[in-house]
Amino acid sequence: MTCAKIALALSVLGMVGAGVTLSMGVVAFYGGRLHFQSIWWRLSWWDSWLSFLVGIALWAFFCGSPTNDLMPKIGLMYRVWMACS
């Protein structure tokens, strides 16, 4: 796998993990803080966010900026949009 695919996988898995942790009802927001049912859910929460941040850092510092890949596509979509309107 390429650097960008690994970074994307880490970021997506991190967000999915955080979403699963929130959606399972094991987190309560009380007094301005998150309260977890057990230490394992807390570790899962932090592991998910760490995975997300490592994916973003990997992409930004080692794989090149994600905008480098997106800008030509955005320009093409803009030209197609203007030609159709």
Q: What is the pLDDT of residue 53?
A: 93
Token duo for residue 71 = 């800008």
**Distances from the Cα of 52 to the Cα of 5, 19, 45, 48, 83, angstroms:** 13, 12, 11, 6, 38
Q: What is the pLDDT of residue 6?
A: 87
Largest CA distance in the chain: 56
In terms of phi and psi (left: phi > 0; alpha: psi -120 to 50; beta: otherwise), the region of 70 is: alpha
Average confidence (pLDDT) per 10 residues, the chain, 85 residues = 84 91 86 88 92 89 64 64 72
Q: What is the pLDDT of residue 65?
A: 57
Q: What is the pLDDT of residue 77?
A: 66
Token duo for residue 81 = 């949009």
